[in-house]
Chain A
């Protein structure tokens, strides 16, 4: 009998001939998450088992598994031999000591001498003798699971912890996340990583108008996102000169609209170099003046890559809830302005007309400004 962690994966079973590929990437991601902790990873049909692990670090292992995308659920249990007595010994270890319970059995190995019902009945009867328990097959407080895998192997466990779901990261291409330091963008990155996308990070700052505290905050966010398999490499670009040029030459109500078009263009240059196939933003429809459909139209007009906006239909409350769950919320609300208000117009355009935006942008030497900004690029590995 051996203590093991049973990991079940989500959605991969939907894949046909590509399944092997998804499973391999999933295994690599699990190994990466558990790097530095003694363990063995075994694949069995439809499940992964973590065995021979450092039991003193069980909690740490479980919390790392809980953040690997593709994990549908996981359980801490025992791998035993196939004999009923061996299975029962493991059940004794995981079974509740009081309250109501039932035993639920499965047989992947159909030649086992007992049927599932017989296994449940036999184990249940013995447990009833061992502990002051009561059977309740409809809504038990505890369920003891017995899963007979082969003639010589069975899994026994008593809990199902839900994993984050989704697809293994690195199976759905690569995207570049525009990470602002606010509440939304980390959540957007999480959502795309959850769908298996490998996510790279780009942050725009506006030194000297924004301070180092704001940049440190973004680094802190990036470091936290790395726990969700998001790239720990952060690229930053200074857009202060672009803001100054827009401020001095263009209609003030278009300040933000124009700056976003520059950000899209800069992000595309970074994305293409990093091999990213799309941009990801935390925009949510109508949340602020620049996130209207007209605002989105004006930024999309300069994009050649798709811009994914996974939060587009979310309310702020829903996003905040998610950010709290991820642990990014407390960092995001630290009071450093991510975009200092020096250049904010009193009344930003809510419905900027593309023709007007293009006309105003025509007053600027776009390419020169882009090149100047690209020269400010910095990279931090967190």
Chain B
């Protein structure tokens, strides 16, 4: 077993930014563990621009963003173990991983878990119907095209109006495939307005809100889907079924923080995010294990995932130096109008920032962080939408009551 300093799991926008920050803070031994054979994480396949505006001041593609982080990491001499998958983490921070040279065991002074998220699958949303080939989650289709030079199909229908689905609508169209329509279960689009315009409107691809796929047809390869309108409770309305023929169904129906290894380690998980419950230092319920980026909660911009990972790095560094204020005393819960909020716990000893998503689109609202009757922080937003994460700064919670985040 090796004894190392601070170990970062994941070499995507979060993990690499955390590692770079750690070295800049003066951490001597920083190790990054990455399961793919290359670093960059999901950025490798996100070839569209829009990354880097916050962090680098320019709009660049995912691979370029990753390359900038990677060269910073190389300049700082950060060691990265690629082709290495973490199998297990123990409560005393021993990492067991599968690597090209067999199983390795590494004990870390602190761990930052930044291994990203996975896509919700057809199986888990249980779309009825046959099981033909040709049903792909948007990320898989994206990887096929952008990394493997393969076309998933030629005539697609897309379920889900999240950014990845919208991006793939454009990508497929530009490569000569037909995209008949995008269907969205909710009554509002999930992705950025910019993407609705530039991925759908530009190519006259219709978007049907409040619709979902209720059956998949085709024994061996998908031949079509039945689509139904849904009511206010998101239930299919009988009599509204329409058949759309296609040879490919792209699913963009949700990203889920991938916390298998943290769950196995016994880390407290927030069921509303599927990510770890962290305090304002981004530390999980296991001392010295931190989480950031999409593994903690799904971000809209890689830049923010990187920034959050840097915050985790600052705290991990303090922890490893024995200087971090720990103690998870108070809960922070999502209240009226709020879907989920991070951190889920706070020490109560210092100010913190609540990062949250609202339940529905509203204009002219104030989001408050309150402890009982006392307002710890608030912010006015001209517009709040579920697809955009927002944050509210709050002062220290002196009392002993739990804290709530609400939309006024």
Binding partners A and B: no
Residues of B within 8 A of A (CB): none
